[in-house]
């Protein structure tokens, strides 16, 4: 049978080897105790040694509480107490959230003008939950990242790519050809374009450092043609 007692706060002795680092969360726990009261008792042995509730005890001390509720664990062996300390903290990670139901609960709290920070979620987590999807960029590729040039590139200098006709302002087929850029050359070159009639020329240094090529869009069926000779 569990025994509940109200103890003077100074009677409790924190476990010196507590593996949980919680100093950063003391203010958050103190705010929760102020809002809800000390609803989850500490677990301790009758000699005052704390088994579970280190963060709650620190928050109670910060708030200046004189007493805290305690559940005695004298029926546990020293080995069980050591294991229970770990279990009490680890078991909170076993379950998963139903995001849809969680969002409904948070929505109702928000309608009641309740401070959502008191639910235990930080600002970034609340944004992700309320948005209905993950906003993390972990594992994604940076927009400016350039992959290494493969040993056997798909495109080589002089290749001509025939593009599928697009119904924009023409139904014609556009050809893409790769034109070489000399090492150290900062301006695009018309070398290799002799004989082509061009409507649009696109160039980019996107692959310049890796492949040392310029990319041109070449077409022979549009108006306002420019011919290289």
What does the pLDDT look like over 173-220, one tens digit per residue? 455 555 544 444 444 455 555 555 555 555 554 444 444 433 344 444
The total of structural domains in the chain comes to 3
Min mean pLDDT across 11-20, 77-86, 153-162, 172-181 is at 172-181
Residue 108 lies in a domain: yes
Query: How far from chain centre, in Å, is Cα 132?
Result: 14
In this prediction, residue 162 has a pLDDT band, given cuts at 50, 70 and 90, of low
Q: Are residues 89 and 109 in the same domain?
A: no
Is residue 110 over pLDDT 70? yes
Residue 54 lies in a domain: yes
Residue 136 lies in a domain: no
Q: What is the mean pLDDT of residues 131-149?
A: 68
H helix count then E strand count, the chain: 6, 9
Q: Are residues 8 and 30 in the same domain?
A: yes
pLDDT at position 181: 47
CATH number of the domain enclosing 85: 3.90.1530.10
Q: Are residues 213 and 168 in the same domain?
A: yes
Q: Are residues 8 and 89 in the same domain?
A: yes
Q: How far is CA 124 from CA 23, 107, 109, 191, in A?
A: 20, 16, 17, 53
In this prediction, residue 114 has a pLDDT band, given cuts at 50, 70 and 90, of very high
pLDDT at position 28: 95
Q: What is the mean pLDDT of residues 107-126?
A: 94
In this prediction, residue 149 has a pLDDT band, given cuts at 50, 70 and 90, of confident
pLDDT at position 193: 56
- pTM of full prediction above 0.75: no
Q: Are residues 208 and 170 in the same domain?
A: yes
In this prediction, residue 145 has a pLDDT band, given cuts at 50, 70 and 90, of confident
Residue 145 lies in a domain: no
Q: Are residues 42 and 17 in the same domain?
A: yes
Residue 11 lies in a domain: yes
pLDDT per residue as tens digits for the range 55-103: 999 999 999 999 999 999 999 999 999 999 999 999 989 999 999 999 9
* Residue range of the domain that includes 106: 99-131
Q: Are residues 66 and 8 in the same domain?
A: yes
Q: Are residues 19 and 86 in the same domain?
A: yes
Residue 180 lies in a domain: yes
Residue 219 lies in a domain: yes
Q: What is the mean pLDDT of residues 98-113?
A: 95
Q: Are residues 121 and 184 in the same domain?
A: no
Residue 188 lies in a domain: yes
Hey, what long-range contacts does 144-152 have (CB within 8 A, 24 or more apart)?
146/206, 146/207, 146/209, 146/210, 148/210, 149/207, 149/210, 149/211
Q: For 86-119, b where at least 16 C-beta lie within 10 A, e where not — what string? A: eeebeeeeeeeeeeeeeeeebeeeeeeeeebeee
| In contact, 225 and 199? CB cutoff 8 Å | yes
pLDDT per residue as tens digits for the range 22-58: 999 999 999 999 999 999 999 999 999 999 999 999 9
Q: Are residues 173 and 227 in the same domain?
A: yes
Q: Give the residue from 43, 69, 93 where a domain finishes.
A: 93
Q: Are residues 12 and 78 in the same domain?
A: yes
pLDDT at position 197: 58
Q: Are residues 15 and 73 in the same domain?
A: yes
């Amino acid at each position: 049978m569990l025994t509940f007692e109200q103890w003077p706060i100074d009677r409790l002795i924190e476990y010196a080897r507590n593996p949980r680092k919680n100093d950063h969360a003391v203010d958050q726990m103190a705010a929760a105790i102020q809002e809800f009261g000390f609803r989850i008792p500490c677990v301790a042995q009758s000699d005052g040694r704390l088994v579970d509730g280190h963060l709650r005890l620190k928050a109670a001390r910060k708030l200046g509480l004189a007493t805290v509720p305690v559940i005695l664990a004298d029926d546990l062996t020293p080995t069980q107490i050591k294991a229970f300390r770990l279990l009490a903290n680890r078991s909170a990670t076993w379950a998963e959230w139903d995001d849809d139901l969680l969002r409904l609960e948070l929505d109702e709290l928000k309608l009641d003008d309740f401070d959502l920070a008191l639910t235990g979620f930080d600002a970034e987590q609340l944004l992700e939950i309320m948005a209905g999807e993950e906003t993390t960029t972990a594992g994604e590729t940076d927009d400016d990242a350039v992959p290494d040039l493969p040993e056997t590139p798909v495109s080589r200098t002089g290749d001509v790519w025939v593009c599928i006709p697009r119904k924009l302002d023409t139904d014609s087929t556009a050809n893409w050809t790769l034109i070489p850029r000399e090492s150290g050359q900062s301006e695009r070159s018309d070398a290799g374009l002799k004989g082509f009639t061009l409507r649009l020329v696109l160039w980019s240094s996107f692959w310049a450092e890796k492949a040392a090529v310029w990319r041109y869009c070449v077409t022979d069926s549009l108006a306002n043609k420019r011919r290289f000779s």
